[in-house]
Amino acid sequence: MKINPKFKVRDVAGEHIILLQGKNAGEMTKVVSLNSTSLLLWEQLKDKDFEPLDVVAILLENYDVEEAVALEDAKKWIETLRQNGIIYDPQ
């Protein structure tokens, strides 16, 4: 999977956010806010193809966390980005 390069992280008033524009005039713009862990993952993976275990490896390298917890967190992070169309599977 890959982070879609059309999305950029913006720093707005000290918050790291991604703006998701509505597809038509009737849809609202959504804002995805990134905490420090999400921002770390974004920065390390934004230009790469990656798998869930790559996310787990970054979490284990940077935080004192059990592997099972890192795997669950990785799945949640990926699912949130996938639901918002921020990551895709290049084929």
91 versus 55: the higher-pLDDT residue is 55
Instruction: Render pLDDT for 27-64 as a digit per residue (tens, 0 to 9).
Output: 567 888 999 999 999 999 999 999 999 999 999 999 99
- Domains of the chain: which residue ranges? 2-85
83 versus 25: the higher-pLDDT residue is 83
Task: Residue 65: name the closest of 47, 44, 40 by CA.
Answer: 40
Q: Which of 20-24, 27-31, 44-48, 74-78 has the lowest mean pLDDT?
A: 20-24
Instruction: Render pLDDT for 9-18 as a digit per residue (tens, 0 to 9).
Output: 999 999 999 9
**What are 10's two structure tokens?**
């913006």
91 — pLDDT class (breaks 50, 70, 90): confident
The alpha-carbon radius of gyration of the chain (Å, integer) is 14
CA dist., res. 17 & res. 66, Å (int) = 28
Output the pTM of the full model. 0.86
For the cut 60, the answer to whether the pLDDT of residue 24 exceeds it is no
